[in-house]
Amino acid sequence: MSTLPQLLGPTGLGAGSLRLSPRTAAGRSGKVPAGRPKTVPTQPLKPIPGLYHHAHVEPAPDLVDDIDRRTKEWAFGITMYERGFEKEYDAFVFGYYTCLCYPDYASREHIMAAAKMLAAENAVDDIYCEDLGGSPVGLGYRLCLAQAAFDPLHCTDEYQSAWEARLRQDGPRHGYRSAFEHLNTIASPAQLDRERHDMIRLHLGYLCEAAWEETQTLPTVDEYLTMRQFNNFRPCLTIVDAVAGYELPHDIHDSHHMQRVIALASNATTIVNDLYSYTKEMNGQRPHLNLPYVIELNEHLSREDAYAKAVDIHNQLMHAFEEEGVRAALAYPHPAVSRFITGLSAWVAGDHHWHATNHGRYQLPAWL
Any alpha helices (H) in the chain, and if so which ranges? Answer: 25-29, 61-77, 86-91, 94-101, 108-124, 139-147, 157-167, 171-184, 189-215, 221-230, 234-238, 240-244, 250-254, 256-276, 278-282, 291-299, 303-331, 335-357
Give the range of 42-50, 53-61, 254-262, 339-347 binding a second copy by CB under 8 A: 254-262
Q: Does 91 bind a second copy (CB under 8 A)?
A: no
Residues 154-183 within binding reach of a second copy (CB under 8 A): 154-156, 159-160, 162-163, 166
Residue nearer to a second copy on the CB measure, 48 or 264: 264
Residue nearer to a second copy on the CB measure, 107 or 185: 185
- Encoded one letter per residue, x for contact with a second copy by CB under 8 A and - for no contact, window 185-204 reads ---xxx-xx--xx--xx-xx
CA distances from 152 to 148, 194, 195 (A): 5, 15, 14
Smallest distance, Å, CB 229 to a second copy?
6
Other residues' Cβ atoms within 10 Å of the Cβ of residue 254: 12
- C-alpha–C-alpha distance, residues 116 and 113, integer Å: 5
Smallest distance, Å, CB 90 to a second copy?
31
- Sequence-separated (6 or more) residues with CB below 8 Å from residue 188: 242, 247
Other residues' Cβ atoms within 10 Å of the Cβ of residue 166: 11
Give the range of 28-36, 118-126, 131-139, 276-284 binding a second copy by CB under 8 A: 131-139
- C-alpha–C-alpha distance, residues 118 and 72, integer Å: 12
Which one of residues 129, 313, 336, 348 is an interface residue with a second copy (CB under 8 A)? 313
Smallest distance, Å, CB 183 to a second copy?
14
What DSSP line would sit under 40-85, residue for residue?
A: S--PPP-PPTT-------PPPHHHHHHHHHHHHHHHHHTTSS-GGG
> Cβ(70)–Cβ(178) under 8 Å?
no
- Encoded one letter per residue, x for contact with a second copy by CB under 8 A and - for no contact, window 205-244 reads x-xxxxxx-xx-x-xxxxx-xxx-xx--------------
> Cα 68 from chain centroid?
17
Q: Does 153 bind a second copy (CB under 8 A)?
A: yes
Which one of residues 65, 90, 151, 305 is an interface residue with a second copy (CB under 8 A)? 151
Residue nearer to a second copy on the CB measure, 111 or 258: 258
Q: Which residues of the chain form contacts with a second copy (CB under 8 A)?
A: 137-145, 147-148, 151, 153-156, 159-160, 162-163, 166, 188-190, 192-193, 196-197, 200-201, 203-205, 207-212, 214-215, 217, 219-223, 225-227, 229-230, 250-251, 254-256, 259-260, 263-264, 267, 313, 316-317, 320
